[in-house]
Structure 1
Amino acid sequence: MYLEHFGLTELPFRITPHTDFFFDGANRGATLDALLYAITHDEGIVKVSGEVGSGKTMLCRVLMERLPDNITLIYLANPSLSREDMLYAIADELRLSLPDNARASLVLRTLQDHLITSFSEGRQVVVLIDEAHAMPVETLEEIRLLSNLEANRHKLLQLVLFGQPELNDILARPDMRQLKERITHNFGLEPLVRDDIASYLDFRMRTAGYRGPSVFTPAALKMIARTSHGLTRRINILADKALLAAYATGSHQVGSKEAQAAIRDSEFSQATYTDKKTHKNLIRTIALGCAAIALVAATWLIATAQRPAVPAAEPVSSSAHPASSANPARTRTRDAPAYPLIQERIAAGQHWLEQTPNNHWFIQLWATDATQQAQVENFLSEAVAHQADINNIRVYFSSLSGQPRYGIIYGDYSTHAAVMAAIDQLPSALKKTKPYPRQVIRLR
């Protein structure tokens, strides 16, 4: 209705996925590249999680278009399949010849034979499973068993799970630990911030044919950002209604009046994203936040304590300073730190992050719970032992995911092509954790 009024050739804010309108900002493009890399170079299960309306289906559709030609793609959109039905569905997509009423064991054996043949021909079979959070537990267990299909030292089937945050809750259950251990890459679609929303709206308008100045005023952007919580489906709904309101009044700009009209006409669930966090996880979030603050403070204090005139590499023993035995705190301060490489690389990471542009890239080597300091220290020690360039390895601390974590990263690259090439050239000691590219802005 408003197409001619704004000089558009098609609707810019449809909620059905249209891959020409894929927005690669807000880390979407980087996530897509990392997914492509993980699928074509990995041998484990990949998981993508995000809130309702965060853009998972769009990402999945674009991924399907950009996978290389040697991949046989299977897309399962029905989450209510039983474990046997899922086997039959995969067999049907691969057009396997099976007798009527074939037992699941026969289907699995026939599937494995077909996968071995495909692998020998240089083809890879990838199964994309949408709405995985709604799958029965026994079907998720079948996914784990499918991930065991292999020939020699190579997995025969690559599985990618797309689901809402409830999938993470399911995988956290004790009876799901075997499946969770097989997930080698976890990607999360974060909500868009206000600057991202401005770029997103402008991108979709111009993709639909608009050629004028920005339509949405700062006041309208603020209202859309607050109401949408950064979820792309909500943004689309609000933007479409706001454009219609502007057309009705003959205006070529969307201001607070039009945005308010769109908000009044929209009824969004109060259980989604921010509100759900507030009501369901408030106590947990506060507790984790306090723990994160305490851990950051402790890390800072330890790092600060390692800057005295006496080099940290020369520990002072208690025998040289008898008084230290009566003062444990002094002993811990003057002795060599328990995890010297972590502290050294955290300091290097902080210095690097302070001066590195947002659009630069790095390689994410590993991330783990902040309680696993010994494992992080061992990883760094092993990297040094294998002659990896320790000056290119950095450690950061983050609680953005709601849980205090250490991340180990590598390198500094100005382009995406450069970081992808660098991943292929990494020492073997750094490839064991399935590294992938990320952009600096995601650490801030």
Structure 2
Amino acid sequence: MASSDAFYLDFFGLDRRPFTLLPDPGFMFWSPLHKRGYSVLQYGIMSCAPITVLTGEIGAGKTTLIQHLLSEIEDSITVGLISNAQGGRGELLQWVLNALGLPLGNDPSYVQMFQQLQDFLVSEYAEGRRVVLIFDEAQNLTVEGLEEVRMLTNINSNTDELIQLILVGQPELRDLILNPKMRQLTQRVAASFHLERMDEESVENYIRHRMKVAGGTGAEFTERACRQIFQQTKGVPRLVNQFCDFALLYAWTNETKMVDEEIVGQVVKDGVYFGGNSLEREMTI
């Protein structure tokens, strides 16, 4: 039996799976939306924006953009990445200190942790370094948590920001920030962008791009197949990946090196792809 890593790879002449669900900057596809989203992230950092916000649907490519940003960020910038931070007062500060590699003493008080962070920021500033904190999945923060995040931007030196925040999350994050209770936080947001789903043309280019990166020709999917995949996935990159992975698997089992309408129809008919069901539920809520 073929190994789980092989399957259709040799059959299509690929050196790796082109449609894994894990974010991989090596497969980065620069759709017009992703280019603009990335430009906003860069602008936020270069302009020393207190808070930059990036939102988008699940699987829209937010994490991939962040990983690409991390790979290109200047050495003079200290970055702390906080994924899925939750908790109340004090707990969030522990996430921050941990992300920056700062040691936590035995049961430190909130004041001690805040002072430790402030001392670190002042020290970095004195050495000509800036600190950027990235909160991924920030929609999971409570209103109280977001307020505590905002309080971090109060640590400054004259007109210079000692710390910059990038909040990344699903569309609910926008709703949280626009809450009237969050007026002070909203005033600190200097740059923001929402990643919409890809259009039909972008989905076709996305599929061909990933096939080429994986060692293929990019012509393994017919134009009509790409159109049907767009209809099934509504342009969500993660769902496109899931569907295309199944499509290649089906083509391999059918011993055909072309994913056409028939292959796409088989994937849909067999019910192995669940993404469309989640989209239907989302649209009826």
Cα distance in 2 for partners of 1:226, 1:103 equals 53
SS for the counterpart of 2:90 is helix
Aligned pair count?
277
**CA deviation map 1:273-316 (0-9, x unaligned):** x864x545xxxxxxxxxxxxxxxxxxxxxxxxxxxxxxxxxxxx
1:266 to 266, 270, 273: 273
8 Å contact from structure 2 (residues 86, 92) kept in 1: no
8 Å contact from structure 1 (residues 23, 29) kept in 2: no
SS for the counterpart of 2:32 is coil
Aligned counterpart, 2:153: 147
- The CA deviation at 1:29 is 2.6
Q: Does 1:216 align with 2:193?
A: no
SS for the counterpart of 1:76 is strand
Q: Does 1:24 align with 2:44?
A: no
2:257 to 252, 261, 284: 252
8 Å contact from structure 1 (residues 82, 139) kept in 2: yes
- The CA deviation at 1:255 is 0.7
The structure that has the greater radius of gyration is 1
Q: Identity of aligned pairs, percent? A: 32
8 Å contact from structure 1 (residues 124, 156) kept in 2: yes
Q: Does 1:103 align with 2:81?
A: no
8 Å contact from structure 1 (residues 43, 154) kept in 2: no
Cα distance in 1 for partners of 2:39, 2:178 equals 27
Q: Does 1:179 align with 2:185?
A: yes
Aligned counterpart, 2:11: 5
**CA deviation map 1:176-207 (0-9, x unaligned):** 22212211111111111111111101110000
Gaps of 5+ in 2: 1-6
Gaps of 5+ in 1: 281-444
Q: Bigger relative contact order, structure 1 or 2, given CA contacts below 8 A and separation 6+?
A: 2
Aligned counterpart, 2:3: none
1:236 to 233, 236, 241: 241
- The CA deviation at 1:40 is 2.6
Q: Which amino acid aligns with 1:266?
A: Y
Runs of 4 or more above 4 Å deviation: 269-272
Q: TM-score, normalised by structure 1?
A: 0.60
Cα distance in 1 for partners of 2:43, 2:101 equals 27
Cα distance in 2 for partners of 1:4, 1:97 equals 48
**CA deviation map 1:411-440 (0-9, x unaligned):** xxxxxxxxxxxxxxxxxxxxxxxxxxxxxx
Aligned counterpart, 1:61: 67
Q: Which amino acid aligns with 2:273?
A: S
1:14 to 5, 9, 20: 20
SS for the counterpart of 1:46 is strand
- The CA deviation at 1:96 is 3.4
- The CA deviation at 1:241 is 0.5
CA RMSD of aligned residues (A): 1.7
8 Å contact from structure 1 (residues 26, 192) kept in 2: no
8 Å contact from structure 1 (residues 216, 254) kept in 2: yes
Q: Does 1:51 align with 2:22?
A: no
